[in-house]
Amino acid sequence: MPYSGPMNETTPTRTRALRSDAERTVRTILEAAERVLSQNPAASMEQIAEAAGVARTTVHRRFASRDALVAAMASWATRRFAEAVDSAHPETTPPLVALYQVTANVLRVKIDWGFAMSRAMTADRDAARVHADIGERCVRLFARAKEAGVLRADVDPLWAQRVYYALIHETAQSRDGDADVLAARLVDTLLRGVGTGQTLT
């Protein structure tokens, strides 16, 4: 019988010490998997186990299958993602401030869990739902920004959102620099672009 895994939060456990030991192992594996898979999505369980410093069998005891591992990564990263968005209070803070805060917080998560987040939509039902919800919140934030005169009225909101996501993705790729600085550059580029305002027409 495969170990159902500590992913199930409701699992009762006898002793404190043993439980935290197991959880530490799980965390180590998740982090190693993110490290390895972000570089090579086709990496084997063996490579992941090696990067985590454990035997391959241990990985299989904690995660019933490869898919289960990826789903667990997605779930874990999505939780951190939601926290990152929540802590910026994007519905109550002024749009521009919220944009900076959300961006900086999300960048911190995305830099460490890029692969897991990229798989969240397909690997885990709950994670996909959370991502979709956050997408909705992003739409609402952009709508508020437009009302506040921060966003141009002649720009398709969906396009604006896609550009925003693309810039986050691009920024998270190169892990250089502080998240706040990166966020500032990102938002600056998103809103003002890289040009002087001169156009063809």
Q: Report in angstroms how near the CB of residue 4 gets to DNA at its nearest.
A: 11
Q: Binding marks (x or -) toward a second copy, 3..32, rule CB under 8 A?
A: ------------------------------
DSSP string for 159-193:
HHHHHHHHHHHHHHHS--S-HHHHHHHHHHHHHH-
> Which C-beta is closer to DNA: that of 34 or that of 106?
34
> Which C-beta is closer to DNA: that of 56 or that of 137?
56
Contacts of 171 (CB under 8 A, 6+ apart): 107, 182, 185, 186
Binding span for DNA by CB under 7 A among 41-49, 93-101, 133-141, 159-167: 41-49
9 binds DNA (CB under 7 A): no
Cα–Cα distances in angstroms (integers) from residue 28 to residues 31, 48, 157, in the given order: 5, 10, 40
Instruction: By CB under 8 A, name the one of 169, 175, 178, 181 that touches a second copy.
Output: 169
50 binds DNA (CB under 7 A): no
State which of positions 69-128 bind a second copy (CB under 8 A): 96-97, 100
Q: How far apart are CA 103 and CA 128, in angstroms?
A: 20
> Which C-beta is closer to DNA: that of 22 or that of 121?
22
Instruction: By CB under 7 A, name the one of 31, 38, 66, 128 that touches DNA.
Output: 66
- Going by the DSSP 8-state scheme, the letter that residue 2 receives in this structure is -
The crossing angle, in degrees rounded to 10, of helices 45-52 and 66-86 is 60
Q: How far apart are CA 9 and CA 166, in angstroms?
A: 33
State which of positions 40-69 bind a second copy (CB under 8 A): 41-42
188 binds a second copy (CB under 8 A): yes
Q: CB–CB of 118/159 below 8 Å?
A: no
List contacts with DNA (CB under 7 A): 1-2, 14-19, 21-22, 25, 44-46, 53-58, 60-62, 64-67
